Amino acid sequence: MRRGLVLQVALVAALAAIVGFLAWNTAHNLESRRIASGFAFLWREAGFEIGERTLFAYSAADSYFRALAVGLANTFRVAAIGILLATVLGTLLGLARLAPNWLLAKLASAYVEVMRNVPLLVQLFFWYAIISEVLPGPREALNPLPGVFLSNRGIAFPLPGSSPELSGFNFTGGASLSPEFAALLVGLVTYTAAFIAEIVRAGILSVPRGQFEAAESLGLGRRDAMRQVILPQALRMIVPPLTSQYLNLTKNSSLAVAIGYPDLVSIANTTINQTGQAIEGIAIIMAVYLTISLSISAFMNWYNRGVALKGLRR
């Protein structure tokens, strides 16, 4: 046991020494390069515009703090909508992979293979290129459904009481998604759905065959058996990896910086470039994502305790 104690003291001392050394270097470097430190910059005027705003009003005259809040709101916006759509698409694909129809099952598994083996960043660039290069200008916008317009300015769609109309070079009225948001959303949803499909499929396959047969012998049809017998049991297997996919989608939304959607990371990046305060900027990004991750895993642990089989509870 004494050896263990010595090892631990040595480890902690070594880590403290490394951290101290790095901190000393950093303080020295900041001083010699005349970079300010501390979070006072948050209250200074940001001086840059943000193309998309949700929840907050914002103008270039507002503070960095407000700019970062807009970025965070944008992250949440794309993550929330993305999670919702990816769950729906992923579940459908997962069920399709198990469908008795050969063509449907093969098509779904081909989709999963392709999506999982191509980097998300390449897919995001691809969707952005599709929207900005292939789609026509607003005047010749594609109109696949009444009131919905696809153009290189993004997607315009109607809301109750107002529908988009072409005026000048863009659409007014209704609601619209910018090309950046649309590309990011489509990319995140189609990519994450492939992983969710695998989770749903594995979850359903984990339910013992006897359960299918028992449901069948009770006279339940395929749909009822699925809904009332199989899925409730499969969910127990599905939920933990599903939450980690939700977390992945949220973290992956940080790739927005590569296609110019103003999420938290991309606003923090602009802030770093303008103020030179890299340490504070990166600390903000990490603190926000860590908070999200830790709260989601806390929620997951709570949920797991709720759905775990009573007999297996330790």
Partner 1 sequence: MSTAASWLRRNLFSSWASALATLTILYLAWALLPPFLEWALVKAIWWAQDSKACRDLQGAGACWAFITEKHRFIIFGTYPYEQHWRPGVASALLIALWCVSVLRTFWRWWLSLVWVAGLALIAMLMWGGVLGLTYVENERWGGLILTLLLATFGSAFAFPLAVLLALGRRSRLPAVRAVCVGYIELVRGVPLISLLFMASVMLPLFLPEGLTIDKLLRAQIALILFAAAYLAEVVRGGLQAVSHHQYEAAEALGLGYWKRTLFVILPQALRYAIAPLVNTFIGLFKDTSLVVIIGLFDLLTSLKVSLQEPAWTGFGVEAYLFAAAVYFLFCWAMSVYSQGLERDLARDGAPRLLRGA
Q: Under the rule (CB under 8 A), what is the footprint of partner 1?
A: 4, 7-9, 11-12, 15, 22, 25-26, 28-30, 32, 99-104, 107, 113-114, 116-123, 125-126, 128-130, 132-134, 251-252, 254-255, 257-258, 265, 269, 272, 278-279, 281-282, 285-286, 289-290, 293-294
Residue placing its CB nearer to partner 1 in the complex, 174 or 192:
192
Given the structure tokens 């200074």, which residue do they identify?
A: 44
Instruction: Count Cβ atoms within 10 A of the Cβ of residue 204 and give its class: 0-12 exposed, 13-18 middle, 19 or more buried.
Output: buried
Rounded Cα distance, 76 and 129, in Å: 24
Least Å from the CB of residue 7 to partner 1: 7
Count Cβ neighbours within 10 Å for each residue of 281-292 and write b for 16 or more, e otherwise. Answer: beebbeebbeeb
Rg (CA), the chain: 25
Cβ(28)–Cβ(45) under 8 Å?
A: no
Residue placing its CB nearer to partner 1 in the complex, 207 or 265:
265
Least Å from the CB of residue 39 to partner 1: 16
Least Å from the CB of residue 161 to partner 1: 34
Rounded Cα distance, 4 and 251, in Å: 37
Cβ(277)–Cβ(268) under 8 Å?
A: no
Rounded Cα distance, 247 and 307, in Å: 20
Q: In this structure, what DSSP letter does residue 313 have?
A: -
Least Å from the CB of residue 103 to partner 1: 5
Least Å from the CB of residue 21 to partner 1: 8
Rounded Cα distance, 244 and 54, in Å: 26
Half-sphere exposure of 23 (CA within 13 A, CB side): 6
Least Å from the CB of residue 253 to partner 1: 8
Given the structure tokens 């908070």, which residue do they identify?
A: 291
**Alpha-carbon distance values, 302 to 295, 299, 308 (Å):** 11, 5, 10
